[in-house]
Structure 1
Amino acid sequence: MKQNKYDDLGFFGKYSEMPRSVGGLNAAGEWPVLRTMLPALRDKRVLDLGCGFGWHCKYAREQQARSVVGVDLSEKMLAYARENNNDSAIEYRRLAIEDINFAAGEFDVVISSLALHYVEHFEIVCSKIHHCLVSGGTFVLSVEHPVFTALAAQDWYYGSEGERLHWPVDDYQKEGLRQARFLDNDVVKYHRTIATYVNALIDSGFSVMKLSEPQPTQETLDKYPEMKDETRRPIFLLIAAVKN
């Protein structure tokens, strides 16, 4: 399923008001860790899958990447990227992640930030990424953590006074589609276990180099105190892998 909620005017408006949409990478709680998992980007050919507003594309060029291709299905996201994170060495393409078909060895680094949990067949995308990377190329991705995606409700268990008691986890082993609510809209996501993410990469020919389940830094918590409960359970899963 290839959904494109971000071109819905109401949804896009709400998404544009989120801290990470306004503040870019510095407002993304996982960014301090994700950044350390990226290889040196100088003179590299970079592909960003689900590039959104183009923040990672811009960062790659700031790190002197030779060229960057940003792929996203949303025309509204790409229009923002072209206007605000434009660069002659960045090419933005409107394309579903599932439909990529790049040449063998076309890229040195592939990045995908919080997009692949919207993709039904992760293993197929892994194979396509493996194909378009050079030998020794790096694939770094972030997804919503399986603890977060296991239940479609994606919400806390509350006490009688409305206090957040705990984060419920159920149906963890039951992989597949979840009809979740995000920004007051129904959004299709796909739940996978950590093992499925890792084994899909291994089966596609990658060596997994590092995993991370980051929590917000103290600096981020000081700036965004509403994120204080993000230290109580993982919300993101980050993986760095290298093509064998």
Structure 2
Amino acid sequence: MKENKYDHPSFFDQYEKMLRSQIGLEGAGEWHTLKNMLPDFHGKNILDLGCGFGWHCRFAIENGAKTVTGIDLSERMLAKALEINSLPGIQYERIALEEVDYPAEKFDIILSSLTLHYVESFDSIVQNIYKWLTPGGSFVFSVEHPVFTAEGGQDWIYDKNGEKICWPVDRYFIEGKRNTTFLGENVIKYHRTLTSYLNTLLKHGFTLKEVIEPEPGQEMLKEIPEMKEELRRPMMFLISVLK
């Protein structure tokens, strides 16, 4: 997460053009599934790890949260969050996830959307999250699916006519750093197996509630024909656990 490509002007400009950046949660292919995994926010203190533009922070406050803390390393991300998603009860902080330190049992719910595959040590962040949560608290997060991250290139295999043949899965059990291309720039991500994600959560005391590999919603499939390609391989992995 310390790499912080999102403050590079050209990279950020491309990110702003993504559908999820322009229209918020309804533009995210996984949102129709993720929102049903979220617990009741009423009267709760929320932490959003890697909050980006603050869309999940807004959703939490608008659905009854008492306080929301959104953290992100990107100055540009947080400036945009303050511009479009600054509501009473939301506080934004600029800090790397690896450097966050909160008192024990400070939050009732911790969220993270497509962020933790940028963090080298999933074990360390899970240990911290367990400490920060109140007893009975929820941790709900999304990451890129291990099938999506394994090979590293994160692109299809094409035939001689440029048609997509299949998605490459290679080095699946070799965890660690992957150099990939996202929005036209080299980005470092970290590949982990499904086993590692789940067993790390269990090792630190969490109880699994839901594990979902989301498919695009029917409305999005109708409105964006190319979304049908997302039915050919999983792109995301959603997990909900309880302390």
- In the alignment, the residues of structure 1 paired with residue 27 and residue 123 of structure 2 have an alpha-carbon distance, to the nearest angstrom, of 30
Per the alignment, residue 222 of structure 2 pairs with 222
- Partner secondary structure for residue 51 of structure 2: coil
> In structure 1, the residue corresponding to 2:177 is in which secondary structure?
strand
- 5+ unaligned residues in a row in structure 1: which ranges? none
Per-residue CA deviations over 1:197-233 (Å, capped at 9, x if unaligned) read 0111111111111100001011011222222200111
Alpha-carbon offset, residue 98 of structure 1: 1.2
Partners of 2:195 and 2:209 in 1: CA distance: 15
How do 1:76-87 and structure 2 match up within 5 A?
76-87=76-87
Distance 1:180 1:24 in 2: 25
Q: Secondary structure at the match of 1:108?
A: strand
CA displacement 1:177-202 (0-9 Å, x = unmatched): 00000011000000000110011111
User: Which secondary structure does the structure 2 equivalent of 1:13 belong to?
Assistant: helix
**Residue in 2 that maps onto 1:135:** 135
Distance in structure 1 (CA, Å) of the matches to 2:189 and 2:39: 29
In the TM superposition, what are the counterparts of 1:27-176 in structure 2 within 5 Å?
Answer: 27-176=27-176
Paired amino acid for 1:157? I
Seq. identity, %? 51
**Offset from partner CA, 1:44-68 (integer Å, 9 cap, x none):** 1000000000000000011010000
- Aligned mates of 1:29, 1:235 — CA distance in 2: 10
Q: Which amino acid aligns with 2:83?
A: E
What one-letter code is carried by the residue in structure 1 that aligns with 2:54? Answer: G
Distance 2:237 2:60 in 1: 21
> How far did residue 147 of structure 1 move?
0.2
Q: TM-score, normalised by structure 1?
A: 0.98
Tell me which amino acid in the other structure corresponds to 1:51.
Answer: C
Give the corresponding residue for 2:21.
Answer: 21
Matched letter for residue 127 of structure 1: Q
**Count of equivalent residues:** 243
- 1:109-153 residue CA offsets vs partner (Å, 9 max, x unmatched): 000000000000001000100000000100001000000000111
TM-score, normalised by the number of residues in structure 2: 0.98
Unaligned runs of at least 5 residues, structure 2: none
Q: Distance in 2 between matches of 1:223 and 1:126?
A: 37
CA–CA distance in structure 2, aligned partners of residues 207 and 36 of structure 1? 18
The CA distance in 1 between the partners of 2:23 and 2:234, in whole Å, is 22
